[in-house]
Amino acid sequence: MNILIIDHIRRRTHQLEKTLTELGHDIVIRPNGKFVIYQLVQSFKPDVVFVNTDSPDRDTLEDISVMTSQAPRPLIIFADDENDEIIRQSIQAGASAYIVDGLQPARIKTLLNVAIFRFEEQQRMSAELSKIKNELADRKIIDKAKGMLMKHKQCDEESAFSAMRNMAMNKNQRLAVVAKDVISLFK
């Protein structure tokens, strides 16, 4: 697994790098200078990102949020700050785990696995939510088109739905696409 470690202080990453290397992972470290997490993720295409910091600042949280929306990856923050608000903001930005005082080598493998599993579950739930939102939007369009057909053709709901379903099958299109066409026709 390719892992990107981001830390401004290089000496802090030594134990983490050593432990992850012993576990068989390839490591890229970016400790110096100004960085943008999203750009580093785009450049190195890591499987997992570690951010080691005293406390994630506003810029870091914004970078994490952009990365999460543009190139989602499991992301683990190691920090010294136990502030509940900072932890909440980090998780909302997209961190899979926020670990305080957690660089003990024996814990790294478990922390890595938990972050990956949590990320995968979050991605699954996000995809399911997106699918449900799309289905609901389609249902609203179909219902609107049914109403327009019922009014224009003086028919009942079942007949309007059947007519749209037949049009969709004849055109080999999704019912929502046909419904949009019906709405456009009667506007």
CB–CB of 38/70 below 8 Å? yes
3-state secondary structure of 3: strand
**Nearest to 78, CA basis, from 105, 41, 118, 42:** 105
Task: Give a yes or no: residue 90 inside a domain.
Answer: yes
Task: Give a yes or no: residue 161 inside a domain.
Answer: yes
Q: Could you give the C-alpha distances from 83 to 14, 15, 76, 99, in angstroms and in order?
A: 26, 25, 16, 12
Task: Give a yes or no: residue 111 inside a domain.
Answer: no
User: What is the secondary structure of 23-92 as a DSSP string?
Assistant: TT-EEEEE-SS---HHHHHHHH--SEEEEEESS--HHHHHHHHHHHHHS---EEEEES---HHHHHHHHH
Residue 18 has pLDDT above 90, yes or no: no
Domain with 174 in it: 129-186
CB–CB of 142/175 below 8 Å? yes
Residue 40 has pLDDT above 80, yes or no: yes
11 and 66 co-located in one domain: yes
Task: Give a yes or no: residue 119 inside a domain.
Answer: no
Task: Give a yes or no: residue 152 inside a domain.
Answer: yes
- Band (pLDDT 50/70/90 cuts) for residue 150 is very high
94 and 56 co-located in one domain: yes
88 and 151 co-located in one domain: no
24 and 73 co-located in one domain: yes
95 and 38 co-located in one domain: yes
Q: Which CATH number is 152's domain given?
A: 1.10.10.10
The arithmetic mean of pLDDT across residues 31-52, rounded, is 83
Total domains, the chain: 2
Q: Which CATH number is 16's domain given?
A: 3.40.50.2300
The HSE-up count of residue 32 (CA atoms within 13 Å, CB side) is 0
pLDDT in tens, 3-17: 998 887 777 778 888
Task: Give a yes or no: residue 114 inside a domain.
Answer: no
96 and 171 co-located in one domain: no
The HSE-up count of residue 128 (CA atoms within 13 Å, CB side) is 6
92 and 149 co-located in one domain: no
pLDDT in tens, 67-119: 999 999 999 998 988 999 999 999 999 999 999 976 777 788 888 899 999 99
33 and 91 co-located in one domain: yes
